[in-house]
Structure 1
Amino acid sequence: MKKEQYLGVNVSVMTYDEILDDLRSRISEGKQSTVIAVNPEKVITANKNPLVKELINESTYQIPDGIGMILASKVKGGSLKERVTGVDMMERLLRFAAEEGHGVFFYGAKEEVVSEAKRKLEERFPTLNIAGYENGYTKDNQALVDKINASGAKLLFVALGSPKQELWIKENMKHLNVKVFQGVGGSFDVFSGRTKRAPEFYRRFGLEWLYRLMKEPKRIKRQMNLPKFLIRVLFSR
C-alpha cells in the first residue's frame, strides 16, 4: 500500500474509491482496518507527541484531510491528488455499508447528538443498518465492548476527539469483532445538523479552513500551524 511521509508521519495516497475497494477485500479476508484523518495540525502534534505519531503510522489508512497535505505533496513532488476528508470518508463508508449489508455502530458525542445523527442518517440511507450506538459518556468499557460485539456491526465510528478516539480504538480493537474502525471527531455533530459544513465553494477549493476562520477568528492561532507545517516540509529531507 503506497504511502508518502511528511515530517515522519505517513499519509495514504489512495482515493475514496481505492480505499473502499481495498476495504472490500480486507473485510472478505477477515482483516481489521483503521482509518485516521491527517492534517497539518495533527502532523505537528505528532512531532511533539510520539504516541500520536505511533497511532497515526500504525493505522491502515492515513487519509489526507486538509489542503495542507496536498500542498506538501506538491512541494515535495509527491502523488497526492485529492483531499480525503474524515466526514466525507465516513459518509462514503456509510453508503458502502448500506450497499454491502454491513451493520454499523456509533460511539461518542452527547446523547442528543449521536441519537439525532442516527435518526437523520437512517432517513438519508433507508437500507443502512445502524446496529447500535452509545454516547461518549459511558463509564463501563467492558459493557460497551460487549454491546458492540452483540450488535454484529462490521463498521465502528468513534467520536471522542483526537487522539483519544484513536487510542481507544488501539486499546479495544483486539477485543472487537468489528472490521473497520474510524475516528470521526465532530462528524456526528455534522450529520445531526448541529454543525454546518462550509459551503460547497469553499470545500471544492480546499478553503474550509478560511471559512471556519471567518466564522471563528479566534481559530487564527490554530490556523498558523499550516504555514509552519509547509515551511518545515519545504526544508525537510
Structure 2
Amino acid sequence: MKEKFLGVDVSNFTYDQLKENIITDIDENRKSFIVAINPEKILQAQRDESLLYLLNQATYQIPDGVGILIASRLNGGTIRERVTGIDMLLALCEQASLHDKSVFLYGAKPGVADEAKDRLREMYPELRIAGVLDGYVKDYEYIKETINEAKPDIIFVALGSPRQEHWIVDHMDELDVKVFQGVGGSFDVLSGKVKRAPGAFQKVGLEWLYRLIKEPWRIKRQIKLPTFLVKVWKSRK
C-alpha cells in the first residue's frame, strides 16, 4: 500500500494500521524500518541517488508533511492522514506499553535522551525503556553491544536525517532489534529543549507555519513546497 512521488515511495497506512502492523512485525519476528517522508526530503533525493535508494529501502515511509497529502490528491491517491515522526514515536510507545514491548532511545546530545526517557515514563508509566545512549558515543562496538544486551523491540534513532537512516540501514542486521525508526529532533521536543507547535497548528497541518514564524530563516526550506508540488503535477501520467 504505497504511492510514489518523484520516485520516492510513501505508505498510505493510517496511524491505526501502522500500529497494528508494527506490533505484528514484532510478534512475528520481522524487522521493519520506519522513515518520515516530506517534500524537502523527496526533492533532496532527486539529486542524491543513494538517498533515493535509502528511502525506498524502508518498510514504512510515513507521510510527514502536508505537502505529501496535497501531492497525493494531485495524483488521485488516497493518503489523507499526516503521520509525523514524533507522533509515530508516541504511538509506538503507547503500543509498547500496552503490549509489553520495550524501547531504546539512541541519539541526540548528552543528557537529552535521558530527559526524553523521563518524559515518556510520565506519559506511559507501564512503558519498558530498555536503554538510553546519546549520539556522541563514537565506539560502534560499544553501541552495538549496549543495544544488543538490552534487546529492545523498538529503537528510536535521533542522529538527524539522512545520517540516522544511513545508520539504520548499515547496522539493522547486526542489532537484536525488530523495529527501527529515525526520529530526528524528537528527543529535543520530548525533553523540552525545543517547543512544538500548539495543538491548533498541529491539527490543521500548519506546524510548518508556526516554525516559520518562530524561525524566519526556515523560509529557504519552506519555499521548496511549491517547487515539489509543481514537479509532482508535471510528473502525472
Shorter-normalised TM range: over 0.9
**Deviation digits for residues 136-172 of structure 1 (CA, Å, limit 9, x no counterpart):** 0011101111110101211000000001000000111
**Deviation digits for residues 45-93 of structure 1 (CA, Å, limit 9, x no counterpart):** 1111111111110100000000000000111111001100100000000
**Deviation digits for residues 168-211 of structure 1 (CA, Å, limit 9, x no counterpart):** 00111001110000000000011111111111111111111111
> Which 4+ residue blocks in structure 1 deviate beyond 6 angstroms?
none
Match of 1:74 in 2: 73
Q: Distance in 2 between matches of 1:145 and 1:152?
A: 11
Letter in 1 for 2:217: K
8 Å CA contact 2:23, 2:95 repeated in 1: no
Q: Distance in 1 between matches of 2:27 and 2:203?
A: 34
Equivalences, count:
236
**Deviation digits for residues 78-114 of structure 1 (CA, Å, limit 9, x no counterpart):** 1001100100000000111111111111110011211
Percent identity, aligned pairs only, is: 51
Of 224-233 and 21-30, deviating more is 21-30
Letter in 2 for 1:151: A
Match of 1:207 in 2: 206
Q: Distance in 1 between matches of 2:19 and 2:115?
A: 26
Match of 2:92 in 1: 93
Where 2:235 maps in the other structure, the secondary structure is: coil
Q: Distance in 2 between matches of 1:231 and 1:208?
A: 22
Match of 1:193 in 2: 192
Match of 1:177 in 2: 176
Q: Distance in 1 between matches of 2:173 and 2:202?
A: 36
Provide the TM-score with structure 1 as the length reference.
Answer: 0.98
- Aligned-residue RMSD, C-alpha: 0.8
Match of 1:103 in 2: 102
Match of 1:39 in 2: 38
8 Å CA contact 2:100, 2:127 repeated in 1: yes
Q: How does 1:16-31 map to 2 (within 5 A)?
A: 16-31=15-30
